[in-house]
């Protein structure tokens, strides 16, 4: 759907590309060069390297292209990375004294961190690429009318399965609980499994289940755990196991389907009738940060169209920048990138705050221990 | 020569068994070597073709090299510190009698017990409380704690096997404690000391959990590795590194072993 | 140097950098310290919850059983290896010892990864079985990987070289004259072994068992990589309490402290056991 607005935006980009080519640099990435200059002027008041707490693969261990434009314009404040294995790990490190300037929890944690007193809202006017970001994801990063999270990477949770080995009874999350495929199923190591169980059992609000509902969900998981060969926590693990035929059915992200297809396997990425879940990474700014403007510049680099395309082409995750398109048509299809409403109802359930997260965590860990 | 410990047939059986175990130990390593040349993003059969690109990528990977260097420094400092503390402890445990010995030896060996993840967090909190910044020194401190029991477990049996009579003879001849240690005990326990150094070094070099909490913004090799295991694009390079690390460490150990044999031939025990 | 002089530095080091942190963990288990700011105070609630939960108890015993099997197996396997090296009179014993220990010097994580390739459904073992028509391609042996078996096998593989070392040291320092004396008294080789070699090498054997049993109870890396759902161990649960889902440092501290207490008791028993051996040897 090409609205006039979209055409205008693209035309502007073409102008910029010509500027950039003439200037002989990669200044396009910072958006309109004017704002980049202004930000640089403001940013020089902040010193030292930008402290970024991020997930593995997003730092200097492979993600350099995502913030290359920031490094170019802020060479004196190059990012320095510490790593978070997940939000719980980040939370613990923050309370134990770690002092990054920004970090990246996912959308289900936005409300938690927004009300925790640890973070401050962003100023979207300082982020030139903000307007290109998917509005539904942007809204999911807000709390109390303020923009606490800037969305960038995202994806779906759905089911990947081998079409030559598996015939689902119906397009449903129930496939990961299917007794017929005992020993060939893989779950994801996350308390979201409780949510999925609740979704499958038909509860109205799986993210905030009652005690009775939680017991049902946990019982289902414990009962069906015997069918599960492996509970994966890293994609490498999933790819090895799926690629070597150890598992045929997996809770998986869109890129996992693309990769297994590339490997020559006959696979399908199922959209369950109960709907897939969508996850979105949200940059958040620490209240104690002494480099907020630099942080905005960094996030702006991450949100650019060029970075977005790189992420989609290289890591297979979606990016909130609606202008970016990956080279792979398979990925385009799996992420439904032509549909800006892809992450929201009725197409999918956007991950959201879990008020009783500690209880969910406890129950999930008991499932694993049982 | 009639060997009371082993008959000829017994020797053959054991030799065969030894060979079998060696094959068992090295097969997975051979697999690693094979996959370091495999032209595929992640290791599974069937093989995809020969390539040297992973080695090239790893050499160009500055972060990976930096993590190796960081690990090496930490491991060196750790092994020296652990062996010093280990020798002091072992002499006390093997040569002295005191009522608190069971308790003290329990204390000195107890770091073997604690899950490294919990220890890492606990130390992190301690340093936070004391206002000490995280970095290489904090990792070294943690690693010395972890490797100290291993040094003791290697040194104490050796000390116990050496006859105290040798040391007593030295005292009778007028040597003081320090001289006795330097001239009699130390040369005799040197093989065990070298083993202790090596064990401490390799334990520290390979340690993940404690380091991840205490190292702050830098990366050690295992931390880099663990994140590579979680992030597919890095994996093949890291396998190439593992092969290189193996070759380097084998060279180091062989050199250390040659040095040790030289020292032993001089001492004659 | 006096005994306090010798022990001063090591004990102080451990006091500050080991005991103090453990005390902190204990304080977390009693809710005296908490991760999040807010009301807190001494309470045994977390301990009570864990004590009443069958799940944690079951997991703990499962882990003990796995560690026991692994430890006993590899001590039994390592003894003949160490014996061969130390007592066969081979001139290349240090080279061979080196050969044995060397795999231990490669990366632990990657050696575990290599096993995943060997044990998988299309891995080396199963491909071989299919190739020799011992099994059909549709029915590989699936229990090899992502199972309790895989965890125990890999742990045994990882620790075997490590365990051979103390046994070797003990056997190597055996006074050969005692064996010769046994020979002079017309003892058979087996008799000499049981009467002389085995008892005198026992401290090394016990140390070796210790070397592997204690750390493996708290193992979490290998189970997380090859254990699948069946190989989940006590250590994994502690890791999860601290590092996944939502931080539950109280329960995690209880679990961790319980593990520490159990092993401290075992250690005390073992070290007492080692003392009389030494006296007997003299």
Please state, in angstroms and rounded to a whole number, the distance separating the CA atoms of residues A206 and A198. 5
**Which residue of B44, B216, B234 is in closest CB contact with A240?**
B44
Residue B134 burial by CB count (10 A; 0-12/13-18/19+): exposed, middle or buried?
Answer: buried
Measure Cα distances from B123 to A224, B129, C239 in Å.
39, 10, 16
Among the residue ranges A101-105, B194-198, B228-232, C112-116, the one predicted with the least confidence is: B228-232
The closest alpha carbon to C20, from A132, B145, A251, B14, belongs to: B145
SS3 state of residue C89: coil
Mutate to test the interface with B, among A62, A244, A247 (most CBs of B within 10 A): A62
Residue-level pLDDT at B231: 60
CB C214 within 8 A of CB A59: no
Please state, in angstroms and rounded to a whole number, the distance separating the CA atoms of residues A231 and C209. 31
Fold of A155-275+346-369: D-Maltodextrin-Binding Protein; domain 2 (3.40.190)
Q: For residue B265, what pLDDT band results from cuts at 50, 70 and 90?
A: low
Residues in chain B within 8 Å Cβ distance of C24: 122, 125-126, 129
Residues in chain A within 8 Å Cβ distance of C138: none
CB B127 within 8 A of CB B214: yes
- Half-sphere exposure (CA, 13 Å, Cβ side) for C259? 35
Q: For residue C139, what pLDDT band results from cuts at 50, 70 and 90?
A: confident
- The pLDDT of C44-51, averaged and rounded, is 89
Please state, in angstroms and rounded to a whole number, the distance separating the CA atoms of residues B164 and B98. 17
User: Which subunits sit against A, judged by 3+ Cβ pairs under 8 A?
Assistant: B, C
**Which residue of A189, A191, A246 is in closest CB contact with C121?**
A246
**Would you say the C-alpha torsion A236, B134, A114, A196 has a positive or negative sign?**
positive
Contact call for C110 and B103, based on CB within 8 A: no
Cβ-based contacts under 8 A for chains B and C: 277
Contact call for B231 and A239, based on CB within 8 A: no
| Chain A contact present for B26, CB below 8 A | no
Most confident of A240-254, B96-110, B112-126: A240-254
Average pLDDT, chain B: 81
Contact call for A361 and C224, based on CB within 8 A: no
Contact call for C247 and A233, based on CB within 8 A: no
Residues in chain A within 8 Å Cβ distance of C55: 366, 369-370
Q: For residue B30, report the phi and psi dihedrals to the nearest 5 degrees.
A: -60, -40
In this chain, the answer to whether the domains covering A49-152+279-342 and A155-275+346-369 adopt an identical fold is yes
Please state, in angstroms and rounded to a whole number, the distance separating the CA atoms of residues A53 and A81. 6
**Which residue of A92, A97, A239 is in closest CB contact with B232?**
A239
Residue C73 burial by CB count (10 A; 0-12/13-18/19+): exposed, middle or buried?
Answer: middle
Average pLDDT, chain C: 82
- Token pair of B253, please? 């150990």
- pLDDT reading at B129 higher than 60: yes
Q: With left for phi above 0 and alpha for psi between -120 and 50, is residue A284 left, alpha or beta?
A: beta
- Token pair of C199, please? 């008892």
Residue-level pLDDT at A21: 42
Please state, in angstroms and rounded to a whole number, the distance separating the CA atoms of residues B226 and B207. 11
Residues in chain C within 8 Å Cβ distance of B5: 83, 87-89, 179, 189, 192-193, 197
SS3 state of residue A283: strand
Rounded to a whole number, what is the distance in Å from the CA of C242 to chain A's nearest CA? 7
Measure Cα distances from A170 to A178, A181, A187 in Å.
11, 14, 19
Residue-level pLDDT at A188: 95
The closest alpha carbon to B190, from B263, B127, B140, belongs to: B263
- Per DSSP, B220 falls in state -
Determine the residue of chain C that is closest to A86 in CA distance: C244
- The pLDDT of B211-231, averaged and rounded, is 77
Contact call for B230 and A233, based on CB within 8 A: yes
The closest alpha carbon to B222, from B97, B116, B93, belongs to: B116
Determine the residue of chain C that is closest to A237 in CA distance: C225
Residue-level pLDDT at C260: 81
- Give residue limits of the domains in chain C: 1-43, 53-281
Rounded to a whole number, what is the distance in Å from the CA of B42 to chain A's nearest CA? 7
**Which residue of A83, A233, A244 is in closest CB contact with B227?**
A83
| B58-68 pLDDT per residue, tens | 888 777 888 88
Rounded to a whole number, what is the distance in Å from the CA of A91 to chain C's nearest CA? 8
Q: For residue C219, what pLDDT band results from cuts at 50, 70 and 90?
A: confident
Angle made by CA atoms C23, C29, C32, in degrees to the nearest 5: 75
Contact call for A61 and B234, based on CB within 8 A: yes
Residues in chain C within 8 Å Cβ distance of A370: 55, 58
Contact call for B225 and C107, based on CB within 8 A: yes
Positions of E strands within A265-320: 267-270, 277-286, 318-319
Q: Which residues pair with A186 in a beta bridge?
A: A230, A250
Please state, in angstroms and rounded to a whole number, the distance separating the CA atoms of residues C44 and C26. 11
Determine the residue of chain A that is closest to B43 in CA distance: A240
Q: For residue B42, what pLDDT band results from cuts at 50, 70 and 90?
A: low
Interface of B with C in 125-154 (CB under 8 A): 125-126, 129, 141-142, 144-145, 148, 150, 153-154
Please state, in angstroms and rounded to a whole number, the distance separating the CA atoms of residues A63 and A301. 12
How far is Cα of residue B187 from the mean position of the Cα atoms in its chain?
21
SS3 state of residue A186: strand
The closest alpha carbon to B223, from C136, A26, A83, belongs to: A83
Residue-level pLDDT at A314: 87
| Chain A contact present for C55, CB below 8 A | yes
Contact call for A246 and C146, based on CB within 8 A: yes
Rounded to a whole number, what is the distance in Å from the CA of B14 to chain C's nearest CA? 6
- Give residue limits of the domains in chain A: 1-45, 49-152+279-342, 155-275+346-369
Determine the residue of chain B that is closest to C266 in CA distance: B106
SS3 state of residue A350: strand
Instruction: Give B222 or B83, the one with higher predicted confidence.
Output: B83
Rounded to a whole number, what is the distance in Å from the CA of C196 to chain B's nearest CA? 10
Residues in chain C within 8 Å Cβ distance of B101: 271, 275
Residue-level pLDDT at B236: 78
**Which residue of A233, A244, A365 is in closest CB contact with C241?**
A365
Residue-level pLDDT at A290: 93
**Which residue of C116, C228, C248 is in closest CB contact with A361?**
C248
Mutate to test the interface with C, among B93, B114, B168, B182 (most CBs of C within 10 A): B114
- pLDDT reading at C6 higher than 80: yes
| ipTM rounded to 2 decimals | 0.79
Tell me how crowded residue A141 is: count the other CB atoms within 10 A of its CB.
Answer: 25
Determine the residue of chain C that is closest to B225 in CA distance: C109
Using a CB–CB cut-off of 8 Å, the residues of A that contact C are 85-86, 88-89, 91-92, 95-96, 183, 189-191, 225, 228-231, 233, 237, 240-241, 244-246, 357-358, 360-362, 364-366, 368-370
Residue-level pLDDT at C105: 67
Rg of the Cα trace of chain A?
21
Which residue matches tokens 């395309």?
A309
Cβ-based contacts under 8 A for chains A and B: 61
Instruction: Give A197 or C90, the one with higher predicted confidence.
Output: A197
| Chain B contact present for A64, CB below 8 A | no
| Chain B contact present for A264, CB below 8 A | no
Q: Which CATH class is domain C53-281?
A: mainly alpha
Q: For residue B261, what pLDDT band results from cuts at 50, 70 and 90?
A: low
Residue-level pLDDT at A9: 39
The closest alpha carbon to C34, from C252, C280, C230, belongs to: C252
The secondary structure element, H or E, covering residue B61 is none
Determine the residue of chain A that is closest to B44 in CA distance: A244
**Which residue of B125, B216, B235 is in closest CB contact with A236?**
B235
Low-confidence ranges of chain A (pLDDT < 50): 1-38, 41-43
A6: preceding bond cis by omega (within 30 degrees): no
Q: For residue B56, what pLDDT band results from cuts at 50, 70 and 90?
A: confident
Is the domain spanning A49-152+279-342 CATH 3.40.50.300? The answer is no
Residue-level pLDDT at B40: 75
Residues in chain A within 8 Å Cβ distance of B233: 57, 62, 314-315
Residues in chain C within 8 Å Cβ distance of A190: 245
Positions of E strands within A30-143: 51-54, 80-83, 102-103, 119-120, 142-143
User: Which subunits sit against B, judged by 3+ Cβ pairs under 8 A?
Assistant: A, C
| Chain B contact present for A97, CB below 8 A | yes
Please state, in angstroms and rounded to a whole number, the distance separating the CA atoms of residues B85 and C9. 7
- pLDDT reading at C217 higher than 70: yes
Contact call for B234 and A80, based on CB within 8 A: no
Instruction: Give C72 or C267, the one with higher predicted confidence.
Output: C72
**Which residue of C113, C197, C267 is in closest CB contact with B106?**
C267
Q: Strand A185-188 and strand A228-232: pairing? A: parallel
């Amino acid at each position: 759907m090409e609205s006039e607005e979209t055409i205008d935006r693209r035309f502007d980009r073409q102008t910029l590309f010509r500027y950039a080519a003439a200037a002989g640099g990669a200044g396009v990435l910072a958006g309109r060069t004017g704002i980049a200059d202004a930000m640089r002027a403001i940013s020089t008041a902040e010193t030292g390297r930008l402290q970024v707490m991020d997930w593995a693969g997003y730092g200097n261990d492979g993600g350099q292209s995502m913030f290359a434009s920031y490094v170019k314009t802020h060479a004196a404040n190059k990012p320095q990375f510490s790593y978070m294995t997940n939000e719980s790990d980040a939370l613990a490190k923050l309370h134990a004294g770690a002092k990054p300037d920004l970090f990246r929890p996912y959308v289900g944690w936005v409300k938690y961190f927004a009300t925790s007193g640890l973070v401050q809202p962003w100023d979207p006017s300082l982020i030139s690429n903000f307007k290109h970001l998917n509005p539904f994801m942007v809204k999911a990063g807000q709390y109390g009318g303020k923009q606490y999270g800037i969305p960038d990477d995202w994806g779906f949770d759905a089911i990947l399965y081998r079409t030559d080995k598996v015939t689902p009874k119906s397009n449903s999350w129930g496939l990961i609980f299917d007794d017929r495929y005992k020993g060939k199923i893989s779950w994801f190591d996350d308390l979201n499994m409780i949510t999925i169980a609740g979704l499958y059992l038909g509860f109205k609000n799986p993210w905030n289940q009652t005690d009775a509902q939680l017991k049902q969900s946990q019982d289902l998981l414990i009962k069906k755990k015997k069918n599960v060969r492996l509970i994966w926590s890293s994609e490498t693990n999933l790819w090895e196991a799926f690629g070597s035929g150890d598992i045929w059915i997996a809770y998986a992200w869109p890129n996992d389907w693309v990769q297994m297809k590339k490997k020559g396997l006959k696979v399908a990425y199922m959209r369950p009738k109960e709907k897939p879940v969508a996850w979105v990474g949200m940059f958040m700014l620490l209240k104690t940060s002494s480099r907020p403007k630099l942080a905005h510049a960094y996030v702006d680099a991450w949100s650019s169209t060029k970075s977005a395309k790189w992420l989609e082409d290289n890591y297979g995750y979606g990016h909130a920048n609606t202008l970016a398109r990956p080279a792979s048509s398979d990925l385009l299809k799996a992420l439904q990138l032509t549909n800006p409403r892809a992450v929201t109802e009725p197409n999918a359930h956007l991950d959201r705050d879990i008020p009783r997260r500690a209880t969910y965590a406890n129950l999930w860990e008991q499932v694993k221990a049982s | 020569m009639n060997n009371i410990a082993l008959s000829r047939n017994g020797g053959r059986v054991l030799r065969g068994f030894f060979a079998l175990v060696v094959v068992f130990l090295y097969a997975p390593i051979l697999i690693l070597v094979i996959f370091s040349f495999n032209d595929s993003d992640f290791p599974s059969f069937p093989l995809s073709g020969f390539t040297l690109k992973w080695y090239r990528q790893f050499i160009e990977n500055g972060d990976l090299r930096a993590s190796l260097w960081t690990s090496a420094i930490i491991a060196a400092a750790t092994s020296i510190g652990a062996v010093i503390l280990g020798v002091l402890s072992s002499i006390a445990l093997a040569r002295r009698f005191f009522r608190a010995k069971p308790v003290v030896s329990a204390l000195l060996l107890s770091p073997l017990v604690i899950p490294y993840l919990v220890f890492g967090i606990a130390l992190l909190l301690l340093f936070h409380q004391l206002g000490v910044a995280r970095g290489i020194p904090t990792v070294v401190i943690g690693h010395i704690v972890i490797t100290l029991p291993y040094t003791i477990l290697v040194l104490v049996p050796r000390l116990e096997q050496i006859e105290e009579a040798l040391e007593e003879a030295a005292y009778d001849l007028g040597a003081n404690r320090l001289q006795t240690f330097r001239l009699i005990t130390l040369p005799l326990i040197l093989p065990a000391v070298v083993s202790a150094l090596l064990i401490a070094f390799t334990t520290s070099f390979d340690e993940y959990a404690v380091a991840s909490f205490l190292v702050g913004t830098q990366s050690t090799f295992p931390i880099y590795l663990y994140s590579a295991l979680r992030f597919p694009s890095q994996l093949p390079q890291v396998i190439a590194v593992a092969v290189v690390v193996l070759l380097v460490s084998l060279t180091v150990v062989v050199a250390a072993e040659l040095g040790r044999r030289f020292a032993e031939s001089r001492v004659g025990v | 140097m006096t005994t306090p002089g010798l022990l001063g530095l090591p004990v102080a080091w451990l006091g500050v950098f080991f005991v103090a942190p453990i005390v902190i963990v204990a304080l977390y288990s009693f809710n005296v310290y908490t991760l999040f700011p807010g009301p807190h105070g001494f309470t045994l609630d977390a301990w009570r919850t864990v004590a009443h939960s069958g799940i944690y108890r079951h997991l703990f015993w499962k882990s003990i059983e796995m560690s026991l099997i692994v430890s006993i197996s590899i001590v039994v396997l390592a003894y003949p290896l160490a014996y061969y090296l130390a007592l066969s009179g081979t001139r290349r014993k240090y080279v061979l010892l080196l050969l044995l220990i060397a795999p231990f010097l490669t990366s632990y994580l990657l050696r575990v990864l290599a096993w995943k390739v060997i044990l998988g459904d299309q891995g080396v073992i199963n491909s071989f079985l299919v190739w020799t028509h011992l099994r059909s391609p549709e029915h590989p042996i699936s229990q090899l990987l992502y199972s309790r078996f895989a965890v125990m096998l890999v742990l045994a593989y990882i620790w075997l070289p490590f365990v051979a070392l103390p046994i070797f040291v003990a056997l190597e320092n055996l006074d050969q004259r005692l064996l010769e004396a046994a020979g002079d008294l017309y003892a058979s080789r087996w008799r000499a072994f049981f009467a002389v070699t085995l008892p005198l090498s026992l401290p090394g054997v016990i140390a070796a068992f210790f070397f592997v049993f204690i750390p493996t109870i708290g193992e979490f890396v290998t189970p997380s990589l090859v254990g699948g759902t069946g190989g989940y161990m006590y250590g994994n649960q502690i890791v999860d309490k601290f590092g996944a889902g939502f931080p539950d440092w109280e329960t995690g501290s209880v679990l961790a402290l319980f593990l520490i207490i159990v092993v401290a008791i075992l250690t005390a028993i073992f070290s007492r056991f080692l003392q009389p051996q030494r006296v007997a040897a003299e």
